Amino acid sequence: MTAKNILILAGDGIGPEVMTQVKRIIDWMNGKGLTNFVVSEGLVGGCSYDAHGTPLTDETMQRAMDADAVLLGAVGGPKWDNLDFSLKPERGLLRLRKDMELFANLRPALVFDALAEASSLKLELVKGLDIMIVRELTGGVYFGQPRGIETLPNGERRGINTQVYTTSEIIRVAEVAFDLARKRGSKVHSVEKANVMESGLLWREEVQKLRDAKYQDVHLEHMYADNCAMQLVRTPRQFDVIVTDNLFGDLLSDCAAMLTGSLGMLPSASLGGDLGGGKRRALYEPVHGSAPDIAGQNKANPLACILSYSMMLRYSFGLLKEADLLDQAAQNVLNAGIRTGDIMAAGCTPVGTDGMGDAILAELTKLHG
């Protein structure tokens, strides 16, 4: 394999803690000749604001554009909550997504057998659960214009955000969902609120047209977002692939996370369009945030970040065997009852963030040599 450039942006709070464990795994895989990754690091979020007065410098943005893949930890925290909106840590992450055109955010919610008891739902409802949420990531109310806060003539203030989708934005993300469904259970739920929003109605019409034209072998159901939230906690196994907009996808993926036992378990891949030659821009990050309540205490579960790295192996570099190896190591460690606090259960062995990293590395060595 020719050398690939990986940019690591660990970010704030628990971001650097969980990323440290990923870096150990990268070193191990490079050392075994399984990968040939050249890693460089940069700042995003609050740490970038502290160093440079902006949550993302143009230079770091350019490095992300040029990298073969980007790995991100998490951004944000109370220290930066009162900054001007344009300087908030989250703006750095949103600019990365927008400028890299990462329109498809894949958020798998997978229940490991060993963790089925850690779910907030009954074991029989979640055992074997395997949902893929495809969240549109560069459009919708997150980016729509007009937006802002304005003062009206009567002195009242008004906050404005706009939900907008164009047909091409809907179609490209729906194609990702249908293509994934073909490799899985051949079922897509398209989620919006076509009953109250025109953008939702357009979403529904375009997804249906696409299915009829190109994906007749895939079963398509339309569902309102509020109902979907309810169905996710009622009978989650009815879902295979869910495709939805930016905001609904944000909410529904946090909800799906709890079905798997913890937000600390959920990885994600954000993929851009085809750049030719099989290349596409991509960023991999856990679904969770910077978890200020446990930051700096060696308590964070690094598995969401580690499994995001596994998605990078799979989706950016086609290193399927290596991704399987890492997924298997994670599964074995969980089967052996090794647990961070968020997924702790009676009779299990408690470990911290670094202890989970140790366990994964030991398991990788056992499986691979």
- Residue ranges at the known binding site for substrate: 97, 107, 135, 226
Q: Which is nearer to ligand NAD, 190 or 310 (CB)?
A: 310
Residue type, 16: P
Instruction: Choose, by CB under 6 A, the member of 240, 327, 342, 363 that binds ligand NAD.
Output: 342
Q: Which is nearer to Mn ion, 133 or 338 (CB)?
A: 133
* Dist. CA 265–CA 306, nearest whole Å: 9
Please, which of residues 7-46 interact with ligand NAD by CB under 6 A? 14
Q: Is 226 a catalytic residue?
A: yes
User: Is residue 250 within the footprint of Mn ion (CB under 5 A)?
Assistant: yes
Instruction: Choose, by CB under 6 A, the member of 144, 185, 292, 352 that binds ligand NAD.
Output: 292
Polymer length of the chain: 369
Instruction: Choose, by CB under 6 A, the member of 301, 308, 316, 332 that binds ligand NAD.
Output: 301
User: Is residue 94 within the footprint of ligand IPM (CB under 6 A)?
Assistant: yes
CB 279 within 8 A of CB 271: no
Q: Is 179 a catalytic residue?
A: no
The two most distant CA atoms of the chain are separated, in Å, by 72
* Dist. CA 71–CA 29, nearest whole Å: 16
Q: Which is nearer to ligand IPM, 90 or 324 (CB)?
A: 90
Residue type, 70: V
Q: Is 254 a catalytic residue?
A: yes
Q: Is 366 a catalytic residue?
A: no
Instruction: Choose, by CB under 6 A, the member of 10, 29, 47, 93 that binds ligand IPM.
Output: 93
User: Is residue 250 within the footprint of ligand IPM (CB under 6 A)?
Assistant: yes
Q: Which is nearer to Mn ion, 69 or 74 (CB)?
A: 74
- C-alpha closest to that of 298 among 341, 334, 337, 332: 341
Q: Which two tokens stand for residue 120?
A: 């907030």
- Catalytic pick among 58, 66, 212, 226: 226
Write phi, then psi, for 105 (nearest 5 degrees): -105, 110
- Catalytic pick among 12, 245, 250, 327: 250
CB of 5 to ligand NAD, least distance (A): 22
Residues sharing a CB contact under 8 Å with residue 74, sequence separation 6 or more, in sequence order: 11, 12, 13, 14, 15, 18, 45, 285, 286, 288, 289, 290, 291
Q: Which is nearer to ligand IPM, 94 or 361 (CB)?
A: 94
Q: Pick one of Mn ion, ligand IPM, ligand NAD, none as the site partner of residue 264 (Cβ within 5 to 8 A by kind).
A: ligand NAD
- Catalytic pick among 254, 324, 354, 358: 254
DSSP 366: H
Strands (E), the chain: 4-11, 37-42, 69-74, 104-110, 130-136, 148-151, 157-160, 187-192, 219-224, 241-244, 269-276, 279-284, 338-339, 349-350
Which are the catalytic amino acids? 142, 193, 226, 250, 254
